[in-house]
Every structure is written in structure tokens, then in C-alpha cells.
Structure 1
Amino acid sequence: MKIGGVIWRNYRQIWTRLSQLDNGHHKRVVFSQHVANRCDDAGSTLSYPKLTPQQVSSILRNNENTFELKRGKSVRSFDTNQLASNDPIEDRRSEARLTQTDGLMFGVFDGHAGCACAQAVSERLFEYIAVSLLPPHLLDEFNHALKDRLPSVNTWLLNWYRHDNDYFNTSMASLYRSNLHRYVTEMLSTSCMEDDHEFVMWDALTSAFVRLDQDISTEAMPGANGLVINPEMIDIAFSGTVACVAHIDGPHLHIANSGDSMAVLGSYDEDQNRWHATELSKEHNAQNLTEVKRIKDNHPSSESNFVIKNDRLLGQLAPLRAFGDVRYKWQHADLKKLTMAMNTPYAQNFIPPNYYTPPYLTVSPEIKYHRLRSQDKFLILATDGLWDMLSPDMVIRLVGQHMTGKQTYDPYVPNKGVKLKDINSVLLKRKSGIENRAIDKNSATHLIRNALGTSEFGVQHNKLSLMLSIPQDIVRLYRDDITVTVIFFDQDFLRTCPA
């Protein structure tokens, strides 16, 4: 059975994006060094349009947001921003408050082979996590709300923090809600329906990741009774995304990571007067030898020479854990069934070479727990577009300095009864902070500015101008999409929070 022209164009676009996946980090580092070498105080020798400082700032700030939390407990505020390289951008970000608990969730999602999977996961994953965290009696309440289609069902689980450019796929809302409801009913049927049942955070987060990925796969799978294909779901399932999610409830921080985005904690040691960067996630790529061993151990020794080849899964995919990417998960017969229906020269390329013992790819996240302390000042979630250009240590120092300088934007009005020596101490710190005051109030924007413009002479306008005016057809050789979220902790809460 052939697929119609409109639907096939969708598949051809997927394959084109799959075939264009590059080496990412290595290429962009080389080209970024090339840019730095060609930028000096006299100006760039490359013939791209010269942007003014105002134009540079306008581009960098176009997608920035700052949210102050009125009842965030351990979280006081967060900054977030994105800068596109792909058109459209393949990164996504999400932030939400859980309505049935005091928890907050933050996530960054780095898509590949298009933005479809990253878009779907950014819309759906938090709901799956929220459901997985519910005790049985609340799970039952939500189940009835879904059955009765109550108007409040959209905010029953989550209150979202929205951005001006957020897009939600309303055409798929009914399917998404139906599969979420199925997940709820299955959880109810297997639970003991006791409020005091044992709860394990690791299991809940893993279950949410894995179940959403299964639903994405099932939604794209051709039906058993004839080939019924949903091209939109095929686009989601055959593209992919990595995900790095933080769940924060009081002093309890959990990071669930699948792929090569990263979460880094910024802590300040007052005794040593220095910032510390603590990586709370591991990148799942070929540089992670433990990850490579895990994959090789899951397949016959006869495949060890090609299961990871050229630092890629089956020689093709860079991240070694991800949502979607069903061409590394489906059984060979199911992939063959779909490619035969496509009946085009591109179809055979959908099945990777040496595809003998699938699945080769998993979305199951690595989970890290950290109990927040008063010395923990902020958490950074970012896609690899940032980490390609700045080290975790540099990122933490930049945000730490930015925090000091940001305090001087607002006038200092001492509280009544404050001693003169305390006022003097504050004023001395503010004087020091003025030296660190950045151009951007938003710390995520500050990081992106430094990622693109830093050279041995500091942040250079010429390099920023060049990096922001590279033509669309080659910009991916210089930089990737960048998404950054910086979460600031409430020090008063952490100081007084019981152990």
C-alpha cells in the first residue's frame, strides 16, 4: 500500500533531517575557534552584516523571561532564554508548578531531526510525571475528572509558566489526553489503593519517562487492521529529543536526565570565597564509557564493533538515550512494514545498518538526588549548545558574578534599626557588585552572550555580531540551538529548613 504524496513529503523531510545530523560539538568548537581567530579589535574579516550593540542585545533578549515566585519555598525565581540556530529551533523548555503538591518542575529538551518530538515531550512529560507522583486517592480523583471531562481538568495537575512564543499542538490534545487517561487507569488497577503504600521517587520518574516514550511509539505504529498512518505522529516518533528535568520540593532536588543536556548546581563556599560547580547529570554519549559499556553489554559480542561506531549509536545517533527515535527501538519487522508502504528510494535508509537485536536505544533516565543546603545558590539546566562553548565551572562563575552585580540595579534602603556597621558591610558588597554588573539583567541571557562572544580578550562585540549574523545555511557549523534555565534558591528558606 503506497502512501500519498502529502504524507510522503512529511517522511522525506524526516529523512533529510536524519541524514543531516552532524558531529555537533567537534565541528562547532572548531568553527567557533575559527570565528574567534578572525575577530579582533579592528573588526571581523568575514563579510557578514555588522550589528550594533543595540541590535545584538535585541536578538539575545528576544526569548528571555524572568519569573518571580510568590510561594516557591526553596525557589525564589528563575531566568530562562533561548537562541535559535536551526529554523525552526529544535530546543524546547518547560516550567510548571504541581497543583497537588508543593513541587516545581523545570525541563530543557534538545530535539534532533526536527522539533516535533521535543515539542511533544515538552507538552506531555510533566503531566506523566505529575500523575506518577500522585497518591492513590488523588489519582482516583483525577481519573474521575478525566472521565467527566471537567473544565478544571486542564489545571488539575499543573500550573504552567508560559512564554510569549510558546506553542501547543491543540490538534493532538484529544489523543494526548486519551493516552494519559489510559496511563492513569492502569496505575489505579495495579496500585494497592492505600495512602500509605511505599513510594519511590526514582521509580515514579522512570515510569513517567518510559511510559510517555511507549505512548509516542504506539501512536506512530501502523494499526494491526490495515496500514493506518498518522503522519504527525510519525514525525514525532521518528525524530527525537533528549530531556533534562528537575523536580524541586522544598529542600529535595531530583534530576532526571536522558541524553546529553546537563544540570549543574552552583554553590558558594564563604570560607574559601569561591564558587563550586557540581554536575548533577551525566551526558549519555560516546564519551561516557560507562554508557558505552551498558549498550555493548545489552547486545551480542558479535555486534561490539559496530553498535557504537564513529562515536555514534550504530554509526548514526549521537545521544545514547532519547525519546522518540523509534528507528532504533522498533522491531525490524515493524520498520520493514512501514518502509515497504513508503515505496520510495529513501525508505531503505530508515532502517539503520547492522540492525539485528533491537532495541538499541532507551529513554530510561539516570536520576540524581541532592538535598539542598544554604550554600547552594542556583541550578542551571541547559542544552548542549551552551556546554559546547562554556565549561560548567565557567558557567557557575559567570552566574555567581552576575548575582553579585544584579543586586546593584535596585536602590538599597536599609531596614529600620539596622546597625551602621551592617549598612557599611552591605554598601561595600554593593560597591564590589558594581564592578560585576552585567549588561543583561537576565542571567540566562548573560550566559548566552558569554557563550557566543567570549574570547581571550573577554566578551567582544565583533565576535557577537559575527556569530549572530551568520547565514542560516551554515550557522549550524558555528553554533547549536541554546536553551538555558537558571533557578535561584531562597536562602532564607534553606537556612531555616529542618534537616
Structure 2
Amino acid sequence: MNAPLRSVSRIFLLRRTAHRSTFPSTTCLAHAFHTQLPGGLRAKLTTQQINHILRLREATSLDMEIPPPIKSFEVSQLAANFPIEDRCLEARLLRSGGMLFAVIDGHGGPGCGQALSERLADYVAVALMDLESLDRLAKEMDASLAAKSEFPPIVSRKMHPGDYMIAGQRPNHFKWLRQYVLDRVKEPHPLHQVPDRLREAFLRMDHDISACGLETLNSDNEVVEHVNLENLAASLSGAVVSLAYVNDCDLYVAGTGDTSGFIASVDEEGQWSTKTLVNHHTHANPAEMKRILSQHPESEAGTVVVGERLLGQLFPLRAFGDCQYKWPVEKLKAILRHHQLMHLFPYHCYTPPYLTAEPEIIHHRLQAHNKFMLLSSDGLFDFLTEDSASKLVIEHMGGRRALQPFTPNSGVTLGELNVRLKKRMIAQAKKPDDANVSTHVIRHALGRTDIGLDMGKLSRALSASVEEARYQRDDMTVQVIFFDSDYLRMFSPMEPTVGSAKPQ
């Protein structure tokens, strides 16, 4: 029988040690750079040390085949937790076409976020396939099962610095995904609209996370002898998600929880604007409060949300995992008692489920004036607004040409060369410290002041110990996706109307 376990993180870390590489946490790395001075003071990090920490988890699209109208993407992460609980995802759909981007903001440990980073793209890919493709995939999966070989890939995903896959979970993932494929093939009334398919993928993924955790129990609500600890960690930790699906000129954004996303556009006069793509599912959203209160008896009106949190504990009102807010009370108590985790039993838990992973989905028809999209975990917007984040990206776009070597074309006149050099001088003044725009955004989120970037402030933010960092800021993940204006101008020529992003 498994030894008693004291926390969700402990459940995960018992098994995760075998998968962990020597890739360091940014918080641990910052701690290694510290010089402790008398009186508890710390030496200021050097510019080189700051750059190393900020650039540790950068990634770009340079080594990945991406379909139009996506021009490129750049990603960066900065940890506050150890291990980092955020995950991000970029994946090309090999069967149905299009591209997925997702920011996954985990909480209560990295288990749920890790499961989503490994599995969610496959679930969305299956949800978006037509019946003919599904039938073919089902046969391929059966053949793989018979041959005891890897199941055929349906997505091509980007791997980031520090990413890992839990090899022992592949058979488990195959089992649940295959069942989803078979269920979709047998659907009497298959879903045809993209928003409905994305919604189904989210809910099915969450259902399977929950079902994996409940495999801990037998039919008598007794804990089985051999418990899959990764499954239990995934179901008792949680994650919120913003996922963008780009298929030619159509953009769909599915949001569950309180991650953030916006699209930035420029008009013919050069004026920039942003449009929110993700609505937060928190107590501050009146529609969300009305929804959740309507699903429980009036007698619980004062206990469902307490102190701005679900049952007084969880800030987002929608999330993957977090099955202590979803499972039947008796099943939950049986699992928590066995692992000495009864401190996770929520107060006022009378009529579960209290939590859902159902996303709110927005569709936006991309136009040539749409220049980029930014998705992020909420750690970024503890420091920035949408407008300030957008301005940082625009500033980087203007200055990044100064990072490229100047190579004039042959046949250029002296007058034309003079104009180009003057433009380059202007760009040189705005030259960013980072080639990666997402790192640029994180740098300025932590170090900006009213008069510019303060390296002392940035050093203090990055030199906090593992214990301190989590109470000063959250993990930060930023994805910036740039669109190909020439392609959109050619294939999506209609002028947009104001407010073209609509909830589905």
C-alpha cells in the first residue's frame, strides 16, 4: 500500500524525480547568483545574470513549420514556483489543419498543467476531425495497439527548454484518447460547429483527468493497492487555460479560468487598439457569479463564493482538475483520508460539482489590420494592462530592425540610402535588450518605472529566493503570435466591423 502523502505537490514529486532533467528553475538559478551581505542584504545581479535568467525559457517558431496566416511566434517563461506550474503549447494539427496555441496556468502543483501540456492538443485535434478521418485514425490506433507500437501522431508540437514528457503516462493517454476517438465515431449527432467541438474537447479532457483520479477507488470506495500517483496529482491540482485555434483566416479562442489574451490591430492612420479575447471566470464577472449561484441551492448562496473565492479557497471559478470541487463527497473523502490529505477537503462542500472546465469561446475573423495576438498567464497582468503590454510589443517591433545587420540593396541612390540610415538611427534609439519579444515584455513588466527600465528593481525581482518569489509574483508565460498581413490582405479582404470578436 502506498505510504501516506501530505500534499498534492508531494504526490507529484515522488514520481517526477525520475523525469526531471538538470535544467534549472529560474528561481533556483537566481538564488545561485546571490551574494549574501551583512545584515541580510543581497548583492545586485549583474546585467549578464539578469539576461541569463530572463532568457532561460525562450522559444521561437524558427525551427517549426507553421501554416499561414501565422508569420511567427515567440514565447518566454519565468518561474516563481519550483517546479514551475505554468505550461505553454504550440502545435500544428496534422490531420485537420490549423495551429494551436495555449497558455496553461497551473495551481496546487504542476500535475494538472503537465497533463494538459501533454494531452490537450491531441483531444482538440480529435474533436476537430471529420468522421472519415476519425474512422481512419481508429483503425490506425487499433493496429498500433496490436503491434504494441507508438500510436500515430496527430499533432506536431514545439518543445521548449525544460519541457519533459512522462513516458510512463503514454499508455494511459493512449487508452483514454482511443476511447474518445471511438466515442466520436459512434456519435449519432456529430457536432459540426468549431466552438462546439472545442467545448467538447475541453470537457472530455477534464472528464478523463477526473476519471483517471477515480481509478484510485474500487466499486466499494476503497483505495486500490496500486495507485497511479501522476493521475492523482493531475486530478487534485488544477489549471486554467487560454487556447487559440487558428485555421486559415479564422481565429477561435477558448478560455477556462483567468488567463488572458488580446489581439492588437492598427488602422490606416497608424493608431493601435486592442481587443480582449478571453473573459475571466472570477467573482468579478457578474455573469459568472450568476451562473455558479444558479447551479446550487439558495441555502448555499452565502457559501459558494466566500471572500472572492470558490468555497473560500479557489480564485478561478472554472478550471481543469481541482477534483476536490467536483467529485462526490464520499469518494473524495475516501481518497483524501487514505493519503492523509483531508486538509484539501473544501469547507461547505455539500452539492458538488462546484467547478467546470467548460470554456467560453470567441470567434474572430482575421483581417490585414490584425497584427499580433498575445496570450499569457495572469502573472503578467499583475504588473501590466493590455494596453501597456501591447505598447511593449509595438515598441519591440519598431526597434528590432536595429538588431539586424544593415545591408543596403545594390542600385540604391545616395538619397534613398540617407533615408534608410535615418530610419535606422531612429530604430537604434529604440533597440531592445532582447531579441525575443516575450522576454522583452516580461523584462519591462518586472523592471519598469515611470521614467524607464530600472535594473535595480529588476534585479530585486529576480533575486528573490524560492520561498520569497512565490509571494511576490506568480509564474509568467507570454506567447506572442504575429500574423502575415499580406496573406490576410489577399485571402480575407473584407473590412471588419467594430466588435468583430463575438462570444460563442
Please give the range of the TM-score, normalised by the shorter of the 2 chains: 0.7 to 0.9
Report the Cα distance in structure 1 between the residues aligned to 2:380 and 2:372, rounded to whole angstroms: 17
C-alpha change, 1:153 and 1:230, in structure 2 (3 Å) is closer
Partner residue in 1 for 2:441: 447
Q: 1:129-144 to 2 correspondence within 5 Å?
A: 129-144=124-139
Partner residue in 1 for 2:255: 257
Partner residue in 2 for 1:114: 109
Partner residue in 2 for 1:93: 88
Which residue of 169, 187, 206 corresponds with 2:199?
A: 206
C-alpha change, 1:455 and 1:467, in structure 2 (3 Å) is same
Report the Cα distance in structure 2 between the residues aligned to 1:356 and 1:299, rounded to whole angstroms: 9
Q: Give secondary structure in 2 for the equivalent of 1:108.
A: strand
Instruction: Tell me whether 1:300 sits opposite 2:270 in the alignment.
Output: no
C-alpha change, 1:479 and 1:15, in structure 2 (3 Å) is same
Partner residue in 1 for 2:33: none
C-alpha change, 1:289 and 1:426, in structure 2 (3 Å) is farther
Q: 1:394-433 to 2 correspondence within 5 Å?
A: 394-413=388-407, 428-433=422-427
Which residue of 119, 122, 126 corresponds with 1:127?
A: 122
Report if the CA contact (8 A) 1:402-1:443 is conserved: yes
C-alpha change, 1:419 and 1:182, in structure 2 (3 Å) is farther
Partner residue in 2 for 1:38: none
- The alpha-carbon deviation at position 72 of structure 1 amounts to 2.2
C-alpha change, 1:486 and 1:186, in structure 2 (3 Å) is same
Report the Cα distance in structure 2 between the residues aligned to 1:208 and 1:9, rounded to whole angstroms: 32
**Structure 2 runs not aligned, ≥5 long:** 14-38, 494-504
Task: Report the residue type matching 1:395 in the other structure.
Answer: A
Which residue of 233, 236, 242 corresponds with 2:234?
A: 236
Deviation per CA, 1:171-190: give whole Å up to 9, x if none: 11101111000000011011
Report the Cα distance in structure 2 between the residues aligned to 1:426 and 1:180, rounded to whole angstroms: 55
- The alpha-carbon deviation at position 102 of structure 1 amounts to 3.2
Instruction: Tell me whether 1:59 sits opposite 2:57 in the alignment.
Output: no
- The alpha-carbon deviation at position 224 of structure 1 amounts to 1.7
- The alpha-carbon deviation at position 49 of structure 1 amounts to 2.6
- The alpha-carbon deviation at position 336 of structure 1 amounts to 2.4
**Structure 1 runs not aligned, ≥5 long:** 17-44
Which residue of 385, 392, 399 corresponds with 1:391?
A: 385
- The alpha-carbon deviation at position 46 of structure 1 amounts to 7.7
C-alpha change, 1:198 and 1:13, in structure 2 (3 Å) is closer
What is the RMSD of the two structures over their aligned residues, measured on CA atoms? Answer: 2.4
Greater shift, 311-320 or 294-303, is seen at: 294-303
Deviation per CA, 1:455-491: give whole Å up to 9, x if none: 1221111011111111211111211100111111111
Q: 1:43-442 to 2 correspondence within 5 Å?
A: 47-68=41-62, 70-149=65-144, 156-191=153-188, 199-221=192-214, 222-224=217-219, 226-228=222-224, 229-271=227-269, 273-342=270-339, 344=340, 346-347=341-342, 349-413=343-407, 428-442=422-436
Q: Give secondary structure in 2 for the equivalent of 1:190.
A: coil
C-alpha change, 1:426 and 1:148, in structure 2 (3 Å) is farther
C-alpha change, 1:421 and 1:368, in structure 2 (3 Å) is farther
Which residue of 490, 493, 503 corresponds with 1:496?
A: 490
Report if the CA contact (8 A) 1:91-1:483 is conserved: yes
- The alpha-carbon deviation at position 294 of structure 1 amounts to 1.1
- The alpha-carbon deviation at position 275 of structure 1 amounts to 2.0
Query: Share of identical aligned residues, percent?
Result: 38
- The alpha-carbon deviation at position 147 of structure 1 amounts to 0.5
- The alpha-carbon deviation at position 418 of structure 1 amounts to 8.0
Report if the CA contact (8 A) 1:14-1:113 is conserved: no
Report the Cα distance in structure 2 between the residues aligned to 1:87 and 1:449, rounded to whole angstroms: 20
Report if the CA contact (8 A) 2:9-2:109 is conserved: no
Greater shift, 250-259 or 412-421, is seen at: 412-421
Report if the CA contact (8 A) 1:99-1:155 is conserved: no
Task: Report the residue type matching 1:134 in the other structure.
Answer: M
Q: 1:440-479 to 2 correspondence within 5 Å?
A: 440-479=434-473
Partner residue in 2 for 1:28: none
Report if the CA contact (8 A) 2:140-2:152 is conserved: no
- The alpha-carbon deviation at position 227 of structure 1 amounts to 2.5
TM-score, normalization by structure 2: 0.86
C-alpha change, 1:428 and 1:377, in structure 2 (3 Å) is farther
Report the Cα distance in structure 1 between the residues aligned to 2:356 and 2:247, rounded to whole angstroms: 27
C-alpha change, 1:484 and 1:317, in structure 2 (3 Å) is same
Report if the CA contact (8 A) 2:374-2:478 is conserved: yes
Report the Cα distance in structure 1 between the residues aligned to 2:375 and 2:122, rounded to whole angstroms: 20
C-alpha change, 1:319 and 1:413, in structure 2 (3 Å) is same
Report if the CA contact (8 A) 2:11-2:230 is conserved: no
Report the Cα distance in structure 2 between the residues aligned to 1:96 and 1:421, rounded to whole angstroms: 46
- The alpha-carbon deviation at position 422 of structure 1 amounts to 7.4
Q: Give secondary structure in 2 for the equivalent of 1:299.
A: coil
C-alpha change, 1:71 and 1:260, in structure 2 (3 Å) is closer
Q: Give secondary structure in 2 for the equivalent of 1:110.
A: strand
How many matched pairs?
A: 460
Task: Report the residue type matching 1:230 in the other structure.
Answer: N
Greater shift, 59-68 or 197-206, is seen at: 197-206
- The alpha-carbon deviation at position 310 of structure 1 amounts to 0.4
- The alpha-carbon deviation at position 423 of structure 1 amounts to 6.8
